[in-house]
Structure 1
């Protein structure tokens, strides 16, 4: 039983949804991810967004340069790049991406859904059908931020409505398109991904597995727990945790770690995003241990994602041990600080080592 496990060694995991930002912030945070993960799908919502293969190549070069400066060998961590889908993305953009060897997906941000999504898609099937057809033909996955942005829809219902309004028509129109429903947050989303026809998968964050929306208001408004999609009711958290620990290979790890300077979180209009790159595997281990399913962590963290993306599993390992891990109150970041999720609290698992 997981409750008796004191040490766990798994294939080195990957992060299939990560925000690294750019410039000095990138330089500050890339080491936290590279310490644990062999690869990561890098989100393209910069300013300006990463909309072409040329921009993705330039961003990749900046990430690799930041790695080198941080003393992280390229063999230890590989950034997997994505393009930002817009109403103006072309079939040629998709064809170039598929041939590039380093672009592994195209990200759908419904316009206005989250951080830096202003350039997002306004009508997926109406404006992007030729692009989606090209992606289906090339086997290039569509990575979706699964929320509608209609102001008449309650914030907590945006994902469930997205399933009906977008996912079902999308699958009907493009049944062989590979789709990742990213940072899933609801029981409705879990049900959809479990039973949808065609190549569909979902990433799950540690914070949505561990916390419900009460965390936003415990002892006052808690801006460092605010993310999009927002934390949901306890019944949804339980559904997500059951999916993550079920062994179903449609569900895999994606932190959605999103660094913001402390001052931009603790503001009248605070930014959305939780910083979890520092302690991602400690958080996931805590979630799996909570339901006595640590034996299924390797599949979720290290096997299911590569299988979906058509990539080999990593050859290295990561070892977790049952030991007290105190989450720091804040970390230096680009001349400011970033507050990690659950700052000041303690976890009962920590990363002990990584190996070749």
Structure 2
């Protein structure tokens, strides 16, 4: 960390984990998976493929494709040794997910969560839940009984609710009734975006945690319109006011173990972002830890980065911290304008700008 003569030149951390990651499939998977595996020992892999990951068998097959894609990526770029990377799989919750499927998932040892997408909330969420307590009560009971976490996309989809208020309304309409009905259910409020959400997670009874993305810690909604409409800053939940960003940054750097790292890195082809109805999602996997280091340093809390990135998440999920380490070094790191993505390219968050942290060249 910081020395007697100035700020830190290097940061050595227990190898971190990403508790919210989109890898897609096929050629896109092969182009993005190494970016995450170079930094993170494990990642919770989102199930919103087409078709979605609905069963334990689906999750096993997808996990095998992730590991095969990582090996292929390493061979293609000449990495001598494939990084140790454990994809932690999830199931896509629907109105028809059964308690038996939940028990199979828990017994598998490789499924670590079930994802709630309110129907229509975000990318590939059309098969999502229409009425959580009305349709999924028996399934939620099975999850509570066997300790399977529910990972929530915390926004309502009611068109009468303003886009910027959908997280706060989700707390009132979904989270509070859910906690009353299932007080011992583990719940991760993913990609938290508001002061309301941070306060709820801090004060909630029972096992509640939250992931925080780098874009929501570093940028407010002005970034969407700086110099014109900038689709590569558009994600869901959308960036909010500066007061919310500051509340999230305070939560992330507080040392509270309920808050942990989850990039929500979501690759989309450039053309799918730069069109009249552009996709939601920010690609941050390549430079994720540098982005988080930048956020923590902005408030003088680099000393709390390791706990947020490497300790809080495993503790919540009932896992041990990773045995390896990751080193970040202070060095100017220009972010590429674009990166390969299957037959297209992806534009990473803050493309063309420079960060003052990068992963050490001898890290992996």
1:328 aligns with 2:336: yes
1:217 aligns with 2:217: no
What per-residue deviation string (whole Å, max 9, x for no partner) do you get for residues 14-57 of structure 1?
00000000001001100100010000000000000000001001
Structure 2 length-normalised TM: 0.96
What per-residue deviation string (whole Å, max 9, x for no partner) do you get for residues 91-133 of structure 1?
1110100100000000000000000000000000000000000
The 8 Å contact of residues 293 and 357 in structure 2, kept in 1 or not, is answered as yes
**2:246 counterpart residue number:** 238
What per-residue deviation string (whole Å, max 9, x for no partner) do you get for residues 179-218 of structure 1?
0000000000000000000000000000000000000000
The 8 Å contact of residues 23 and 33 in structure 2, kept in 1 or not, is answered as yes
Question: How big is the shift at 1:322?
Answer: 1.1
Q: Quick one: distance in 1 between partners of 2:100 and 2:10?
A: 49
1:70 counterpart SS class: helix
Question: How big is the shift at 1:63?
Answer: 0.5
Equivalent residues in 2 for 1:142-161, closer than 5 Å: 142-161=150-169
**2:351 counterpart residue number:** 343
What's the C-alpha RMSD, in Å, of the aligned pairs? 1.2
- 1:119–1:220 Cα change, 3 Å: same
Equivalent residues in 2 for 1:129-148, closer than 5 Å: 129-148=137-156
Point out where structure 2 has 5 or more consecutive residues left out of the alignment: none
1:81 aligns with 2:81: no
Equivalent residues in 2 for 1:228-267, closer than 5 Å: 228-267=236-275
Runs of 4+ in 1 over 6 A off after TM superposition: none
1:288 aligns with 2:284: no
The 8 Å contact of residues 109 and 121 in structure 1, kept in 2 or not, is answered as yes
Q: How many residues align?
A: 356
1:175 aligns with 2:178: no
Q: Quick one: distance in 1 between partners of 2:357 and 2:51?
A: 38
1:314 aligns with 2:322: yes
Between 1:163-172 and 1:64-73, the stretch displaced more is: 64-73
2:125 counterpart SS class: coil
Question: How big is the shift at 1:353?
Answer: 4.7
1:39 aligns with 2:79: no
1:192 aligns with 2:208: no
**1:30 counterpart residue number:** 33
Question: How big is the shift at 1:70?
Answer: 1.8
Structure 1 length-normalised TM: 0.98
Q: Quick one: distance in 2 between partners of 1:75 and 1:273?
A: 26
The 8 Å contact of residues 155 and 237 in structure 2, kept in 1 or not, is answered as yes
1:115 aligns with 2:118: no
Between 1:309-318 and 1:345-354, the stretch displaced more is: 345-354
Match of 1:54 among 45, 53, 57: 57
